[in-house]
Amino acid sequence: MPVAFQWTASLATGVPDVDDQHKEIFRRANVLFEACVRGKSAEEVRPLLEYLQSYIREHFTAEEAQHDAARYPGRVSHRVLHRTMAAHLAELTLVLEEAGAGANLVRLTNRLVVGWLVNHIMREDRAFAEYLRSRPTP
Ligand SMILES: [Fe+2]
Ligand SMILES: [Fe+2]
Of 45, 59, 43, residue with least CA distance to 124:
59
Could you tell me the pLDDT band of residue 3, with boundaries at 50, 70 and 90? low
Q: Which domain holds residue 22?
A: 14-134
The closest ligand to the CA of 85 turns out to be 2
Distance 37 CA to ligand 2 centre (A): 28
Q: Helices 16-37 & 42-69, crossing angle to 10 degrees?
A: 170
Give the chain's domain count: 1
Confidence (pLDDT) at 1: 45
pTM reported for the whole predicted model: 0.93
pLDDT tens per residue, range 88-108: 999 999 999 999 999 999 999
Question: How far apart are the CA of 45 and the centre of ligand 2, in A?
Answer: 26
2 occurs within a structural domain: no
Q: How much distance in Å is there from the Cα of 8 to the middle of ligand 2? A: 17
- What is the rounded average pLDDT of the residues 68-80? 97
Residue 89 domain-assigned (yes or no): yes
The 10s digit of each residue's pLDDT in 16-68 is 999 999 999 999 999 999 999 999 999 999 999 999 999 999 999 999 999 99
